Chain A
Amino acid sequence: GNSVTQMEGPVTLSEEAFLTINCTYTATGYPSLFWYVQYPGEGLQLLLKATKADDKGSNKGFEATYRKETTSFHLEKGSVQVSDSAVYFCALSAPRGGFKTIFGAGTRLFVKA
C-alpha cells in the first residue's frame, strides 16, 4: 500500500543552520506530495506541495523537489530561524485508495538562538 517515511526527530539546529528533513514514499501511480507544518499550539497547515515529477514546491524559504527516480521529497531550508521550530509532516495523495492522504510520522525541529 501507499506509505510515507520521514526521518525521526527531534532535529536540533542553531539559528542560520541548513535544514534537511528526509522524506521518501511508496505509492502506485503518480502521487501528489505535500509538506505540512504544525507550529506550537497551532493547527496543521500546508507548507508546500508538488504535483508531478521534478516540480519544486517552495514557501517561506523552504523548498522540496519531487524526485520520482528516488521516490523522495526532502524538505530543505538554507538558513533556519527560531520561528521555524515546529513539527513537519510529509504526506502524499495517490490514486490507489481514492486519493486518500497518507502522512509520515512527523519530524520535530528545534532551532536555538
Chain B
Amino acid sequence: GAGVSQSPSNKVTEKGKDVELRCDPISGHTALYWYRQSLGQGLEFLIYFQGNSAPDKSGLPSDRFSAERTGGSVSTLTIQRTQQEDSAVYLCASRPNDRNSPLHFGNGTRLTVT
C-alpha cells in the first residue's frame, strides 16, 4: 500500500562525504518533487520531475546537488561533498498527472552532516 517511500529515514554523514537519498513514489504518479525542510523552517523547493519532460532544477542550491528519476519511477537525490548547512529533512512527494490532485508526501530523510 503504498504511499511514498523514502530511504534511509535517517542519515548521519561526515562533512565532505557524498550521500544518496532515495524516493519511491506512488505507482502511476507522473509528477515527483524534492523539497528540503530545515528545522523550524518552511519547504524549500529543490527539483520537480513531470513525466518525460525535462526536470525543473531551478531550486537546487548548488551544483553539489543533483537528482535523477529512472524509468519514470524511483528518484535519487545526490548531494556531493556535504556541508553542515545541508543538514535538514529532505522530503519527496508525488502526484498523478492532474493539476487538481494534491501532493502525497513521504516521511522524509533526516540528514545530519557532522
Contacts and interface: CB of A to CB of B under 8 A. Distances in A.
A103 B56 contact: no
A105 interface: yes
Contacts of B50: 98-100
Most buried by B among A44, A95, A99, A103: A44
A49 B102 contact: yes
Interface string A96-107: 011111111110
B48 interface: yes
B103 A97 contact: no
Interface stretch (B14-22, B67-75, B79-87, B104-112): B104-112
B91 interface: yes
Contact of A101 (B33, B41, B107, B108): B33
Given A43-B108, A89-B43, A106-B42, A101 B103 contact: yes
Contact of A46 (B43, B102, B106, B107): B102
Interface residues of A, number: 23
Given A98-B50, A105-B42, 14 more contacts: A43-B107, A44-B103, A44-B105, A49-B102, A89-B42, A93-B99, A93-B100, A98-B48, A99-B31, A100-B48, A101-B95, A103-B43, A103-B45, A105-B41
Interface of B: 31, 33, 35, 41-43, 45, 48, 50, 53, 56, 91, 93, 95, 99-100, 102-103, 105-108
